[in-house]
């Protein structure tokens, strides 16, 4: 275990590392939302970022595929690397970044199109050269939605339930065959059964994808993730194996948070 | 400890209650004024048109190809007027729809907040210019400019009318379509960007289709406005009923004809006078139909956003 600023941070070996967050500070105008955060994301693992509302966890997540760029006056200092390459280098095209690092949002946001088109749109604009119908079927199966929608692929996606819509959004993200999947509180708008569905799904997806999930639900982080980062007021307090964070936290703040004494 | 007794009477103390029924009926009466006006207009249009159709058969009116209501031998085929309205409207739509939609897309998807804050009020200002000013603008500027390209252009011509009406309805399309596109939730754009799409792909394949009902409605409202437009078109396109397919000659639209009759010394009561109501009635039916269609499109295709 190495000491990083004031935070306890477990090191991820270079072979395992897929995303590197190195001394990252993110500001809205002049207000820092994320302050000097450093930790790594391990390949084919689930990493969760937890912390109280407004701690900067979503902002940090959105910096991993440059989705913050749609908010004006956001600036990032430090380095985010993907397979060793600087994601924010001048020569890097953010469109290409997002083709490798997909995202699922807090509220299901299917396009007002058919179920089929929701999934096929991404690969179509990305000029996928295989069979798109097969890809759509595979993605819907991976998102364990296929059996529920296979007979009504041409119906509007807006007719699905909230949980189904969120799995559709996951299928849509998987269809561009990303390496990393970012999930921003993907279950916060869902009922417990749909949540269980998506948690099982994440477990199944782990063999093929790296998942980073932001959640305010500590039980969820404890259940699904291999690594957990705890943030508070823009600072990383502790990062380590989930087991250790929840049973033997090194920092007092972490312990207070995971045992429910604040937050 | 007991709760103090409630005195219901005290609630209305000091407030004037007898005014309420008066306010109620007063407000209702104000609303009634516009309803009565509309009903009266429809009644007068129907009554005079009915009188007109006692003299002239509907088939002569709707299918006749010559419009000579004032002189003998007279004929009452509305097709030349309808045609005049149609080509001006068609030309105006051809100009205003692409440019208006492009402006709306620019404003809603590409312009920075600062640029938008300047451009949008300017566009709305354009919509506030009196139409007669547009008419003189057409006569003194557009027609001479077009004459450079088309030397055969008459002083009054359909092309100039179409161009000026197109310019007139442009702000309407731009601002209404911009509103429709702005109403598309940001979460859809983000979802699309997160799939590795470019700005143009997100705009053309996600945002515009999602806002399409509002965009289509703006087109139809603009066309309806173009059909009903009077002053600018009378000044620019002239008063010669003309059924030929040409943009370079003078034509007459339905509205321009109504102006001509109302301004002239046509005696009230005769058939020539009643033509005005028959044409106005037809115009009313066309624009009403278009407005109903645009309402229907808005209702029918309203996206249920999450």
Q: What is the ipTM of this complex?
A: 0.91
pLDDT band with cut points at 50, 70 and 90 for residue A262: low
Q: What local confidence, expressed as pLDDT, does residue B8 receive?
A: 67
Judged by average pLDDT, the poorest of A96-100, B52-56, B199-203 is B52-56
What mean pLDDT do residues B152-157 have?
86
Choosing among 3.40.190.10, 1.10.3720.10, 3.40.50.720, 2.160.10.10, the CATH entry for B75-300 is 1.10.3720.10
Q: Do B198 and A67 touch (CB under 8 A)?
A: no
Judged by average pLDDT, the poorest of A118-122, B249-253, B287-291 is B249-253
Q: What local confidence, expressed as pLDDT, does residue A4 receive?
A: 53
Query: Which candidate from B188, B190, B206 shows the least CB-CB separation from A67?
Result: B190
pLDDT band with cut points at 50, 70 and 90 for residue A3: very low
pLDDT in tens, A193-209: 888 888 998 988 999 99
Q: What local confidence, expressed as pLDDT, does residue B19 receive?
A: 83
Q: How far is B200 from chain A (nearest CA, A)?
A: 11
Nearest CA in chain B to A64: B194
Q: What local confidence, expressed as pLDDT, does residue B168 receive?
A: 93
A65 interface with B at CB cutoff 8 Å: yes
Query: Which candidate from B194, B305, B306 shows the least CB-CB separation from A98?
Result: B194
B256 interface with A at CB cutoff 8 Å: no
Judged by average pLDDT, the poorest of A9-13, B15-19, B133-137 is B15-19
A56 interface with B at CB cutoff 8 Å: no
Return phi, psi of residue A81, to 5°: -120, 145
Of all residues in chain B, what percent carry a pLDDT higher than 70? 94
Order of strands across the sheet with A101-104? A2-4, A7-9, A235-241, A227-232, A46-50, A210-214, A180-184, A101-104
What mean pLDDT do residues A95-116 have?
94
Nearest CA in chain B to A175: B195
Average predicted confidence (pLDDT) for chain B: 88
Q: What local confidence, expressed as pLDDT, does residue B273 receive?
A: 84
Q: Do B195 and A109 touch (CB under 8 A)?
A: no
pLDDT in tens, B182-229: 999 999 999 999 999 999 999 999 999 999 888 999 999 999 999 988
Judged by average pLDDT, the poorest of A159-168, B2-11, B123-132, B283-292 is B2-11
Q: What local confidence, expressed as pLDDT, does residue B31 receive?
A: 95
On chain A, the residues whose CB falls within 8 A of the CB of B185 are 109
Q: What local confidence, expressed as pLDDT, does residue A2 receive?
A: 43
What mean pLDDT do residues A60-68 have?
94
On chain A, the residues whose CB falls within 8 A of the CB of B117 are none
On chain B, the residues whose CB falls within 8 A of the CB of A173 are 194-195
Q: What local confidence, expressed as pLDDT, does residue B306 receive?
A: 39
Residue A1 has pLDDT above 50, yes or no: no
SS (H, E, C) chain A: CEEECCEEECCCCCCCEEEEEEEEEEEECCEEEEEEEEEEEECCCEEEEECCCCCCHHHHHHHCCCHHHHCCCEEEEEEEEECCEECCCCCCCHHHHHHHEEEECCCCCCCCCEHHHHHHHHHHHCCCCCCHHHHHHHHHHHCCCHHHHCCCCCCEHHHCCHHHHHHHHHHHHHCCCCCEEEEECCCCCCCHHHHHHHHHHHHHHCCCCEEEEECCCHHHHHHHCCEEEEEECCEEEEEEEHHHHHHCCCCHHHHHHHCCCCC
Query: Which candidate from B188, B198, B304 shows the least CB-CB separation from A111?
Result: B188
For chain B, domain boundaries: 75-300
Between the alpha carbon of residue A118 and those of residues A112, A113, B306, the distances in Å are 8, 6, 15
For chain A, domain boundaries: 2-258
pLDDT in tens, B17-46: 778 889 999 999 999 999 999 999 999 999
A169 interface with B at CB cutoff 8 Å: yes
Residues 207-246 (A) with a CB less than 8 A from some CB of B: none
Q: What local confidence, expressed as pLDDT, does residue B13 receive?
A: 61
| Residue of A125, A176, A181 to mutate, interface with B, max B Cβ within 10 Å | A125
Q: Which residue is it, tokens 């100039």?
A: B160
Query: Which candidate from B185, B190, B201 shows the least CB-CB separation from A70?
Result: B190
Query: Which candidate from B191, B196, B304 shows the least CB-CB separation from A95?
Result: B196
Of A70, A80, A68, A77, whose CA–CA distance to A39 is shortest?
Answer: A80
Q: Do A107 and B187 touch (CB under 8 A)?
A: yes
Residue A135 has pLDDT above 60, yes or no: yes
Q: What is the CATH code of the structural domain delimited by A2-258?
A: 3.40.50.300
B194 interface with A at CB cutoff 8 Å: yes
Q: Do B306 and A121 touch (CB under 8 A)?
A: no
Residue B304 has pLDDT above 60, yes or no: no
Rounded to an integer, what distance in angstroms lies between the CA atom of residue A173 and that of residue B103?
32
Residue A181 has pLDDT above 60, yes or no: yes
CA end-to-end distance (rounded Å), chain A: 26
pLDDT in tens, B75-98: 888 898 999 899 999 999 999 999
Q: What local confidence, expressed as pLDDT, does residue A5 receive?
A: 58
Q: Do A107 and B306 touch (CB under 8 A)?
A: yes
Average predicted confidence (pLDDT) for chain A: 91
B208 interface with A at CB cutoff 8 Å: no
Of B152, B157, B284, B303, whose CA–CA distance to B224 is shortest?
Answer: B284
Q: What local confidence, expressed as pLDDT, does residue A161 receive?
A: 92
Q: Do B191 and A165 touch (CB under 8 A)?
A: no
On chain B, the residues whose CB falls within 8 A of the CB of A111 are 188, 191-192, 206, 210
């Amino acid at each position: 275990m190495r000491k990083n600023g004031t935070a306890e941070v477990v090191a991820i070996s270079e072979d395992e590392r897929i995303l590197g967050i190195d001394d990252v500070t993110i500001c809205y105008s002049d207000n820092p939302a994320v302050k000097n955060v450093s930790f790594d994301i391990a390949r084919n693992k689930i990493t969760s970022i937890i912390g109280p509302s407004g701690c900067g966890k979503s902002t940090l997540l959105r910096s991993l595929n440059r989705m913050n760029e749609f908010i004006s006056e956001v600036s990032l200092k430090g380095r985010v690397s993907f397979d060793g390459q600087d994601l924010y280098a001048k020569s890097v095209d953010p469109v290409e970044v997002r083709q490798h690092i997909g995202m699922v949002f807090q509220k299901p946001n299917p396009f007002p199109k058919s179920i089929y088109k929701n999934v096929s749109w991404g690969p179509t604009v990305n000029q996928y050269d295989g069979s798109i119908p097969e890809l759509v079927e595979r993605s819907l199966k991976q998102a364990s939605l296929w059996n529920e929608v296979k007979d009504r692929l041409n119906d509007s996606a807006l007719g699905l339930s909230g949980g189904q819509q969120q799995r559709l959004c996951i299928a849509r993200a998987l269809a561009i065959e990303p390496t990393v999947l970012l999930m921003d509180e993907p279950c916060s708008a869902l009922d417990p059964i749909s949540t269980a569905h998506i948690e099982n799904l994440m477990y199944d997806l782990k063999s093929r994808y790296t998942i980073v999930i932001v959640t305010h639900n500590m039980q969820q982080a404890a259940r699904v993730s291999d690594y957990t980062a705890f943030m508070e007021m823009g600072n990383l307090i502790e990062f380590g194996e989930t087991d250790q964070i929840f049973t033997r936290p090194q920092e007092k703040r972490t312990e207070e948070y995971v045992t429910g004494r604040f937050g | 400890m007991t709760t103090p007794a409630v005195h219901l009477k005290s609630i209305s103390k000091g407030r004037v209650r007898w005014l309420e029924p008066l306010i109620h009926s007063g407000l209702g009466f104000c609303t009634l004024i516009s309803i009565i006006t509309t009903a009266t207009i429809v009644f007068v249009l129907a009554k005079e048109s009915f009188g007109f159709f006692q003299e002239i058969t509907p088939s002569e009116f709707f299918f006749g190809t010559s419009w000579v209501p004032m002189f003998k031998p007279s004929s009452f085929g509305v097709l030349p007027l309808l045609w005049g309205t149609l080509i001006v409207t068609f030309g105006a739509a051809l100009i205003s729809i692409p440019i208006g939609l492009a402006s709306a897309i620019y404003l809603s998807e590409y312009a920075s907040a600062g640029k938008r804050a300047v451009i949008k009020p300017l566009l709305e200002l354009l919509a506030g210019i009196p139409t007669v000013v547009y008419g003189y603008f057409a006569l003194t500027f557009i027609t001479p400019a077009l004459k450079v390209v088309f030397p055969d252009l008459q002083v009054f011509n359909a092309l100039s009318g179409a161009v000026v009406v197109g310019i007139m309805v442009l702000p309407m399309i731009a601002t209404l379509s911009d509103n429709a596109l702005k109403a598309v939730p940001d979460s859809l754009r983000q979802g699309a960007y997160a799939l590795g799409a470019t700005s143009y792909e997100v705009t053309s394949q996600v945002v515009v289709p999602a806002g399409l009902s509002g965009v289509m409605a703006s087109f139809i409202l603009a066309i309806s406005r173009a059909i009903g437009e009077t002053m600018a078109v009378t000044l620019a396109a002239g008063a010669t009923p003309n059924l030929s397919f040409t943009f370079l000659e003078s034509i007459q639209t339905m509205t321009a004809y109504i102006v001509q009759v109302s301004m002239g010394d046509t005696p009230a009561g005769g058939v020539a006078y009643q033509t005005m109501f028959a044409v106005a009635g037809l115009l009313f039916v066309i624009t009403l139909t278009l407005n109903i269609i645009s309402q229907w499109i808005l209702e029918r295709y309203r996206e249920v956003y999450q």
